[in-house]
């Protein structure tokens, strides 16, 4: 028992993956066709925005800050693509993808500059950016605009045998995998664990932090594209929901809010848990309001479990 516990403590993602497996099994019991190959692309496409927004909120949390504006950033990119780029003729993939990712990365960088150079509290800085993004998104598309047929459609279905959503998630996962080969992620974790010690060891704390927010912004841009692929319309009203879901996925995945512990793998399983829970509750016919209740409950129970049973540091951190 203690060995299991120690394994869970050492690997932040293990608890979420265990929970995901259990929920997957229950889901298969309730609706056996859940993983049928012909349903897989649609399932993954619904899952992709959850996962990607979770990915987007992870780097900033790892750096010891927090960015609650990534969810609204994803919906802003969605509105920008559907309500501005597509009507103005810039909607081809070779022009739209660079524009969207550069805009998203730039907005992430601005948040990062506000946190590091202007030295605002991360919650305050990202709340300010959240207001601006929600305002911009509703200015661009007050009512949902539906998109004409376009290339992003394929990302919600499949290219040959390959589900389109595997591309959006895969690109981000690959980018993170490559980053892990560099010293950057190690510096990021060191900064999150203790910025003072990292600074003393010669890490350029400011640059590492700014880059964390930039990366989060770019990931949120990919999330916006995946969202557009799924919805095929602009939905500015989803902003707050995704702001909450992204955080929830990262926290459930074992990413410590103090920074320095966690990673994208955990966030992936965290998002899967949220998605499977939603599917399960909908499949057994629970009201949407109770699904929302369950979201909140899972989040609270998850974070308390993570802080008590699964954290070896509790005794040390008592004042």
Partner 1 sequence: MTEPTTAAVTQSLTAPMPSPAGWLRFRNWALRTPFIQLIVLIALSAVLVALVPAFIARPQAAIAVLVLASLLALAAMGQTLVVILGGLDLAIIGYVTFGAMIASNATSRLGWPVPIALLVVLLVCGGVGAGVGWLCHRFRVQPLVVTLGVGVMLAGGSMFLANGDYNGQPPQELKSLAQLSGTTFGLPVPPVIPIVIVLGVLIWVVLAKTSAGRKLYATGINPRAAELTRINATAVWASVFALSGALAGVAGMLIAAFGSGWSQSIGEPYLFSGLAAVLVGGTTFGSINGSFTRTALGAVILTVLSTIIVSQGLTESQSRIVYGLIILGVVALYGRERHVRDRF
Chain positions contacting partner 1, by CB under 8 A: 66, 114, 118-121, 123-125, 127-139, 142, 195-196, 199-200, 205-206, 240, 244, 247-248, 251, 257-258, 287, 289-300, 303-304, 307-308, 314, 317-319
Q: How far is the CB of 155 from partner 1 (least distance, A)?
A: 28
Cβ burial, residue 211 (10 Å; 0-12/13-18/19+) = buried
For partner 1, give the closer residue by CB, 87 or 258. 258
Q: How far is the CB of 270 from partner 1 (least distance, A)?
A: 12
Q: How far is the CB of 119 from partner 1 (least distance, A)?
A: 5
For partner 1, give the closer residue by CB, 140 or 171. 140
Q: How far is the CB of 46 from partner 1 (least distance, A)?
A: 20
163, β-bridge pairs: 158
For partner 1, give the closer residue by CB, 159 or 293. 293
Other C-beta atoms lying within 10 Å of the C-beta of residue 233? 16
Q: How far is the CB of 118 from partner 1 (least distance, A)?
A: 5
CA distance 92 to 190: 41
For partner 1, give the closer residue by CB, 28 or 304. 304
For partner 1, give the closer residue by CB, 6 or 121. 121
For partner 1, give the closer residue by CB, 84 or 171. 84
Q: How far is the CB of 177 from partner 1 (least distance, A)?
A: 27
SS (H, E, C) the chain: CHHHHHHHHHCCCHHHHHHHHHHHHHHHHHCHHHHCCCCHHHHHHHHHHHHHHHHHHHHHHHCCCCCCCHHHHHHHHHHHHHHHHCCCCCCCHHHHHHHHHHHHHHHHHHHHHHHHCCCCCHHHHHHHHHHHHHHHHHHHCCCCCECCCCCCHHHHCEECCEEHHHHHHHHHHHHHHHHHHCCHHHHHHHHHHCHHHHHHCCCCHHHHHHHHHHHHHHHHHHHHHHHHHHHCECCHHHHHHHHHHHHHHHHHCCCCCCCCCCCHHHHHHHHHHHHHHHHHHHHCCCCHHHHHHHHHHHHHHHHHHHHCCCCCCHHHHCC
For partner 1, give the closer residue by CB, 42 or 305. 305
Q: How far is the CB of 200 from partner 1 (least distance, A)?
A: 6
Q: How far is the CB of 174 from partner 1 (least distance, A)?
A: 29
For partner 1, give the closer residue by CB, 98 or 296. 296
């Amino acid at each position: 028992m203690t060995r299991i516990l120690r394994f869970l403590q050492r690997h932040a993602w293990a608890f979420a993956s265990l929970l995901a497996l259990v929920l997957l099994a229950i889901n298969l019991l309730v609706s056996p066709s859940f993983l049928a190959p012909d349903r897989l692309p649609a399932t993954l496409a619904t899952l992709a925005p959850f996962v990607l927004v979770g990915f987007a909120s992870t780097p900033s949390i790892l750096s010891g800050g927090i960015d609650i504006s990534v969810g609204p950033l994803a919906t802003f990119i969605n509105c920008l693509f559907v309500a501005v780029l597509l009507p103005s003729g810039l909607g081809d993939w070779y022009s739209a993808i660079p524009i969207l990712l550069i805009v998203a990365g730039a907005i992430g960088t601005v948040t990062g500059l506000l946190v590091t150079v202007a030295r605002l509290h991360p919650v305050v800085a990202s709340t300010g950016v959240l207001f601006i993004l929600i305002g911009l998104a509703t200015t661009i598309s007050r009512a949902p605009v539906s998109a004409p047929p376009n290339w992003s459609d394929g990302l919600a279905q499949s290219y040959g045998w390959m589900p389109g959503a595997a591309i959006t998630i895969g690109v981000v996962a690959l980018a993170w995998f490559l980053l892990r080969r560099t010293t950057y992620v190690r510096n990021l974790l060191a900064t999150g664990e203790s910025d003072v010690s990292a600074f003393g060891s010669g890490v350029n704390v400011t640059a590492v932090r700014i880059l964390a927010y930039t990366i989060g912004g770019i990931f949120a841009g990919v999330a916006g594209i995946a969202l557009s692929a799924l919805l095929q319309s602009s939905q500015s009203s989803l902003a707050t929901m995704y702001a909450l879901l992204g955080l929830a996925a990262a926290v459930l995945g074992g990413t410590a809010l103090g920074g320095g512990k966690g990673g994208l793998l955990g966030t992936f399983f965290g998002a899967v848990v949220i998605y499977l829970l939603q599917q399960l509750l909908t499949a057994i016919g629970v009201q949407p309001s109770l699904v929302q209740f369950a979201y909140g409950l899972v989040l609270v129970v998850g974070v308390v479990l993570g802080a008590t049973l699964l954290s070896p540091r509790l005794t040390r951190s008592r004042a």
